[in-house]
Amino acid sequence: MTEFDDRDPMNPSPLDSKDLRLWSMLLHLSLLAGFVVPVAGLVVPIVIYVVKKDDLPGLEAHFNVVINWILSALIYGLIGVILMLILIGFVVLWAIAILTLIFSIIGAIKANDGEVWEYPLSIRFFGRR
């Protein structure tokens, strides 16, 4: 007896939707890995996307949001390092860290609800949403 997959690729099953919500939530929360291991906040989201992009096409919108924030935070961080000469840079770097924490948690909650949430203050490099 052979079993075959009779799912319609245009109408994902609830399991696919559940998987998409789970992996998109993990994608947002993977930004927090950077607080434990410095470069992990950049590497882990990319690894999650590369591994799951073929199985979950809806993950791309979440990846674009996350990668846009990573690039924006790097730019803001460079500005903060330059501003450290006049001591205000320390405040900028702390603000970026706090915003990364808050935005990733809100993004994960929204992703679990099935929504794509654009991070405020994020420069749009990728995505057309």
Stretches where the chain sits below pLDDT 70 are 1-16, 128-129
Q: d(Cα 44, Cα 41) in Å, to the nearest integer?
A: 6
Domain boundaries, the chain: 14-112
Backbone angles phi, psi at 21, to 5 degrees: -65, -40
User: In the prediction, which pLDDT does 27 show?
Assistant: 95
pTM of the model: 0.83
